[in-house]
Each structure stands twice: as structure tokens, then as C-alpha cells.
Structure 1
Amino acid sequence: MPAKTDHEARRRDVSAAVWRVVAEGGFGALTLRSVAGDLGASTGLVTHYFGSKQELLRHALELAEERTRALIPDLTDLRAALAAVLPTTPEATEISRVWVSSWDVALADPELHELERARYRRWRTRLRPLVIKAQAEGDLPPGDPSDLSTALAAFTHGLVVQALFDPTTYTPKRQLRLLDLHLSSLRHTSD
């Protein structure tokens, strides 16, 4: 009689291999074969859990979102929330590399495009109450909190890209200093 397989444990193993492949080579490297190779298994094993490359891509995006959520503290402080997405630690850098590598795939695929659009909308929505709180405390200028949330998300993501391409210039310390400078400049526009 064949040994019973713990399907949940095996799925976690496959999921971990998906993450390793995208973390190492980006979404361009993500194939059923590359995941199987990472596992030292057949592509048949991978297709048992992910029937197509599309499912594999969708799962990789879900993993990236889970890992991102784990990095972001309880969203009560705007500066802490924005700082959490910057590549200031090895883990945050890995997650940022995965996200940036996903953009090409998401821009080309309507389903993944919509998933990413919804993800960015959720991020701005999560920032909005923090912006409103900062406005009430005089730390941000008055104005449309949705616009400020969008501007802060854009600034932070732009800083992520700069840091990924030039980590020597955009060290973790400098990234945080630039974030503080940006927030301070916004605060002073309300004076």
C-alpha cells in the first residue's frame, strides 16, 4: 500500500519553492519546470497543485501580498506603514524585488493586471485613515486624503525602485531619512 501524502505539507513545500524561484529570478523565471527543479521533483507534482502557469503566477502574487502584510505593522502610524514597505531589511528587499519583477507580467495579462490594480487600491485605502489622522494632528496639510494617500504611496514606491537599482546610494538609513524629509516637507506646506 502506498504511503499517505500530507497534501497540506506538500503544498507548503511547493509554495516555498514558488517563492524561492521568484525571489531568486523574478517572475520571468517562474515556470512549472523551475519550481519542480527547485523541489527536485517532477513537473507532474507541481501541476497537481497548480494546473497552469497562470495559477502559479496568481499564487506567487498571493505569497508576495501575504509576506508584505506580515512586514507592515498594525496600521496606526503613517510613517511606520510607509517605512515598512521600503527595502531596508533583507526580507523587505526580497519582497520588493518580487513585486517589481511582477509588474511586467501583470501589465501584460488582463487578469493579473486587475489583481495588481486592486492590490494598489487596497494599499491606498489602508493609508487613507492614517493620512486623515495625520491631517487632524497637523502633520499633513489639509486637502483630499485620497490624493495625499496616492501621492505618499507613489513617493514610497518610487523610493523602493531607486533603492533596488542603487542600494549603495539608497541605503536603509538614507531611505528612511528621505521619507522623513518628504513627510516634513508636506507638514511645512500646511504652516
Structure 2
Amino acid sequence: MPRTADHDARRSQISRAVCTLIAEGGMRAVTVARVAERGGVSVGLVQHYFPTKDDMLLRAFHEAGSRIRARVGEHIRAGSAHRRPISAILLDAVCELLPLDEERRAEFRVARTFSARSLDNPALADIDAETAEGVRRDIAQAVHNGKECGEVDPGADPAVTSLRLAAVTEGLAARLYRAPEHSVVPADDTATEILRAEIAAVFTGHCRQYG
């Protein structure tokens, strides 16, 4: 295996261990010794790749984000292949941000831990803010595309509507994570229906992109 590939593989192996520990017990559960044990590597190797906890958290945050982006990309590819309207593809995409199963719940806890840590770290805060803005921009692009294909009213403002949809998604995700077993919004089809209704309020037309 080339050195660069081995380097990336080791970093990913360690970051997956960090993600698992954060999902299980938050940042307090992350120690060099525990990461090394969970990742099946030496303490020295962990310290070599990640000198500080923030370094480990940042990589774990990127690792979780990469998995989400990969799933969203698959929704887009599958939706286009099956000629689904943009609104349906967008719904599937934003649902990847909700902690509706163990994998997404673990990813959400990593993101939540990162956001909390960023309150005292300006460098992490910039990354956290840019990540959130990236989600909003992606939604805005979907709204823009919806205007072009007839699903969204020509007078709709993508910036405003994307902010609204991003805020609803973020708030719903936090609500589901906080107390899924006691929440008035159960982590099932009801959560999806809430987002479906919000998207339907923006995507009020019919798709013309497939003729």
C-alpha cells in the first residue's frame, strides 16, 4: 500500500474509533488510551496523527460529514435515475441529517459535540459555521433548480426559503436527539412528514425537467 494511502487509512481508522467513543459517551469518553484500544493501534500512533483532542474531534467531524455526503450523493443519483422530482430528492437528503437510526444518531452526536467544543475554539467555530452554511447553500441550490423546472414559484427567494428549511431540519434533529423516547415528535415517519410539509410549502408546482 502506498505511504499516502496507508497514512489516510490509519487516520480514518483512528477517527472511526473517536466517532464510536463520542457516540457512546461524548468527548469525555475520548482519551488517547481508549482511542488506541478501540482503533487497534498504539498510543504512540494516535499521538503521532492527532496531537490534541481537538485534532481528533475535527477529523471525526469530517469523517461523519463524509458519510452523510456520500448518502446524500446516492439519493441524488438514484433520484435522477428514477426521474423523481427535486422535492422528493431534497426530502431524502435532509432526512440524512436527522438522528432516525443508530448510525445517524452517532453522527449527530459527533456534530453536536463539535459544535459545543467550537464555542471555545475560534478555528473550530469557523468550520462549524461553514458546515452549517454549506447545508443551507445546498438547499438553496435545490430551490433554485426547483424554480427552473417549475416546482418552485419564480418569485421565491432561495436564500430565505433555504434558511427556513435548514432551520427546521436543524431544530427537528436536536429535538429528536434530545429525548427520542419521550419526544412529542417520535423518530419515525412523523419526523419525515414534518419535513415533507415544510418542503411542500416551497415546492408547490410540478416538475417539468423530464418532459
TM-score tier after normalising by the smaller chain length? 0.7 to 0.9
What corresponds to 1:122 in structure 2? 134
State the shift of 1:134 in Å: 2.8
SS in 2 for 1:167: coil
Alignment root-mean-square deviation, CA: 2.5
What corresponds to 2:173 in structure 1? 160
What corresponds to 2:191 in structure 1? 175
Contact 1:141 1:186 in 2 (8 A): no
- The TM-score with structure 1 as length reference comes to 0.81
What corresponds to 2:18 in structure 1? 18
> 2:117 aligned with 1:87, yes or no?
no
> 2:35 aligned with 1:35, yes or no?
yes
SS in 2 for 1:86: coil
Distance 2:76 2:158 in 1: 20
State the shift of 1:22 in Å: 1.8
Deviations, residues 72-126 of structure 1 (Å, cap 9, x unaligned): 1328532222222222232222212221222110122100000111111221121
Distance 1:129 1:39 in 2: 38
Which stretches in structure 2 are left out of the alignment for 5+ residues?
A: 1-5, 78-85, 205-211
Distance 1:146 1:40, change over 3 A: same
State the shift of 1:131 in Å: 0.8
- Count of aligned pairs: 183
What corresponds to 1:74 in structure 2? 76
State the shift of 1:49 in Å: 1.6
Q: What pairs with 1:129-144 in structure 2 (closer than 5 Å)?
A: 129-136=141-148, 137-139=150-152, 142-144=155-157
Q: What pairs with 1:38-57 in structure 2 (closer than 5 Å)?
A: 38-39=38-39, 42-57=42-57
> 2:146 aligned with 1:146, yes or no?
no
SS in 2 for 1:108: coil
Which stretches in structure 1 are left out of the alignment for 5+ residues?
A: 1-5
Moved more, 105-114 or 123-132: 123-132
Contact 2:50 2:56 in 1 (8 A): yes
- The TM-score with structure 2 as length reference comes to 0.74
The amino acid across from 1:22 in the alignment is: I
The amino acid across from 2:191 in the alignment is: Q
Distance 1:142 1:29, change over 3 A: farther
